Structures are given as structure tokens and as C-alpha cells.
Copies of this chain bind each other. A is one copy, B any other.
Amino acid sequence: MTSTDWGRVNFGSDGLVPVVAQDAITGRVLMVAYANAEALALALATHQGVYWSRSRQEIWIKGATSGHTQKLVEALLDCDGDAVLYRVEQTGPACHTGAQSCFDPTPTDGEAA
């Protein structure tokens, strides 16, 4: 972990900050999700990819149900404190579709799965 000053996180009016998860080995951008203060603190304390699920309105420990966990290698805050980067070691696919990355082209984009 770096010596990032996590006190300078600028959470939005909804209490959330966007989080980009990047594969620390391949460099691929895996997903974009959100964290509230509790999720971020849990991520930093447990070295896991932890988020706030906007759809379920609850803490979301990535892989808790799917087994597709993220080991948090490094967490970085951007220059103005309103975005976070999780550099992770991803187990299995990051995307709920089974794709390695949520940014992989989908069949609805007119490409083969």
C-alpha cells in the first residue's frame, strides 16, 4: 500500500466515490464500481476488493458469493480525491457475465461472445 492520505477522499453527495479496478498483472481495466467510506475502509483493512452495491444498497465484498475474489495489491487516490484505483489480483472473471473484464465486447455489441 502507498502512504495515500485517505482523509482527502471527496465522496459525492451520495456518499460514494467511483472505483476503477485494474488487474495488477495484466494491466486490464476490469470494472468500475463505487465505494462509500465503510467499503473503502474495509478494502484497505482486509486487502480485498470491497465496494458499495448501488443496486442492493449494501457492502459488496467482490467474490463473496461467486468466489471471484480480488486481492487488493494497491489502492490509489487521484489528484483531486474523487476517484479511486484498486490494483487487484483477480481470481476468475471479474464480470458477472463470465467475461474477464466488464469492458469486454458483449454479444449485443454485435461481436461473438
Contact = CB atoms under 8 A, between A and B. Distances in A.
A99 B76 CA distance: 14
A85 B3 CA distance: 27
Interface string A81-113: 011010000000001110100111110111100
Interface residues of A, number: 35
Q: How many copies does the complex hold?
A: 2
B22 A111 contact: no
19 contacts: A2-B105, A2-B109, A3-B109, A3-B110, A3-B111, A5-B108, A5-B110, A20-B20, A20-B32, A29-B29, A29-B85, A32-B78, A76-B103, A76-B105, A77-B103, A77-B109, A78-B102, A79-B102, A79-B104
